[in-house]
Structure 1
Amino acid sequence: MQSCQLYLISPLDVGGAFPDRLREALQAGPVAAFQFRVKNVDLAEAVRLAAPLQAICDEFDVAFIVNDDVGLAQKLGADGVHLGQGDESLKVAREALGKDVQIGITCHDSRHLAMEAGEGGANYVAFGAFFPTTTKETQYRPELDLVRWWSEMMEIPSVAIGGITPENCQPLIDAGADFLAVCGAVWNDPAGPTEAVKKFADVMSAGSAD
């Protein structure tokens, strides 16, 4: 069975002590990527908030992905950008960022959008929300069959997102998701981000050993 990896998404508040919490999370176990997600801040403030987090990701060899904002990704020299269906087009983003930057595309519950993204040169596609989530408002609820179909048909990795916890993630791993995108399950864990990441790592390592 293929291995599944953790893709951390930031809370909207990444100031204050958050860099220390990110370090705790990354020290706890293997994390493939971290998505920097802020809203309603200008470019200068976004750069200021991103700088310490990007440095921590570099230290742990974790891909630093910017949510929604091609200009910010370009300014930071980020490893990638994640685009929703209402954001900049994949074609324009690729022209701006070049061929070496990872571009991920939100595809909700749609085979058509995923195929379109893959044909357009996306580096990964994201499906969700698989479970109820309070991180953001969602209106799509894909079935596990979508992940299974994509895994069997395509080489491009898939990211599963939406309300994923250590307790409910096994079916997504079994279906062939390459990455689990998690936010609240790590940052809101009462035991802290270190323990949360360890819980995910335990499930993933058990799954890859089967």
Structure 2
Amino acid sequence: MTGPDNRCRLVLIAPDLPDAPAEYARIIADALRGGDAASVILPQYGLNDHDFQARAEAVVPDVQKAGAAALVVDNSRVAGRAKADGLHITGKADVLAEAVEKFTPKLIVGASGAMDRHQALELGEAGPDYMFFGKLDGDIKPEAHSKNLALGEWWSAMIEIPCIVMGGTDPQSALAIAETGAEFAALGKAVFADPARAAAVLAEVNALLDEKAPRFED
């Protein structure tokens, strides 16, 4: 499924659930039936590498089938074995630079961890495919963090590398992110708090963005 290319799109943060790989993959696949998502970021959440690989191998094909990119957090071995589309790097600039050098253009390599403009520019010098503002588990309030919104607005106005801003627990926090000019809004608990409603939430947020998100200029 292809998504709107002239407005902010959604990125999903896969939830921290104890389910077995097949059931976990079903939860993700069901959510993606709700509508457009550009990518799904898959954190390891304390799993050992063997269990994380089993989870990734179950999830990645369903994500790709839905037309989204599957991005594995920090574990290049699991990303390779699961045939994921990319890596989400949470480490410092030297770790990011090494990953960019080693894996692009074969894999998408994204960056996160910048706490201010200086750190963001430092990470940007490594040439990642995107910059992520916020923590993957930073959705602890209904709204997106004001600092991340400000960084997203500054970055998207100044830098060509696309950015993703972490949203809050309220699905409508995606609209505030879209209004900064950021290319992507990340939602985690907002979508997966009740996995049975995940598809409906995704559909609702896409409808909201279709109606109210600013359009990018060609």
Identify the TM-score tier after normalising by the shorter chain.
0.7 to 0.9
- Find the partner of 1:123 among 116, 119, 129: 129
Change (3 A) 1:107 1:38: closer
Write the distance in 1 (CA, Å) between the matches of 2:175 and 2:206.
12
Write the distance in 2 (CA, Å) between the matches of 1:74 and 1:11.
21
**Structure 2 residue 162 is the aligned partner of structure 1 residue 151:** no
- Find the partner of 1:111 among 105, 110, 117: 117
Write the distance in 1 (CA, Å) between the matches of 2:148 and 2:27.
32
The one-letter code matched in structure 1 to 2:127 is: G
2:200 corresponding residue in structure 1? 195
The one-letter code matched in structure 2 to 1:79 is: D
Change (3 A) 1:4 1:24: same
Task: Check whether the contact 1:189–1:196 (CA below 8 A) recurs between aligned residues.
Answer: no
- Find the partner of 1:12 among 11, 16, 21: 16
Larger deviation: 117-126 or 68-77?
Answer: 68-77
Change (3 A) 1:189 1:177: farther
| TM-score, structure 2 normalization | 0.82
Write the distance in 2 (CA, Å) between the matches of 1:22 and 1:190.
8
**How far is the alpha carbon of 1:18 from its aligned partner?**
2.3
Larger deviation: 151-160 or 88-97?
Answer: 88-97
2:40 corresponding residue in structure 1? 34
Q: How many residues align?
A: 206
CA RMSD, Structure 1 to Structure 2 (Å): 2.8
Write the distance in 1 (CA, Å) between the matches of 2:67 and 2:195.
27
Give matches, 1:85-100, under 5 Å: 85=91, 89-100=95-106
Larger deviation: 199-208 or 79-88?
Answer: 79-88
Q: Percent identity?
A: 26
Task: Check whether the contact 2:93–2:126 (CA below 8 A) recurs between aligned residues.
Answer: no
Larger deviation: 85-94 or 191-200?
Answer: 85-94
**How far is the alpha carbon of 1:11 from its aligned partner?**
1.3
- Find the partner of 1:62 among 64, 68, 75: 68
Q: Structure 2, unaligned stretches of length 5 or more?
A: none
| TM-score, structure 1 normalization | 0.85
Q: Deviations over 1:72-98 (max 9, x none)?
A: 223323211111135970122123323
- Find the partner of 1:74 among 71, 80, 92: 80
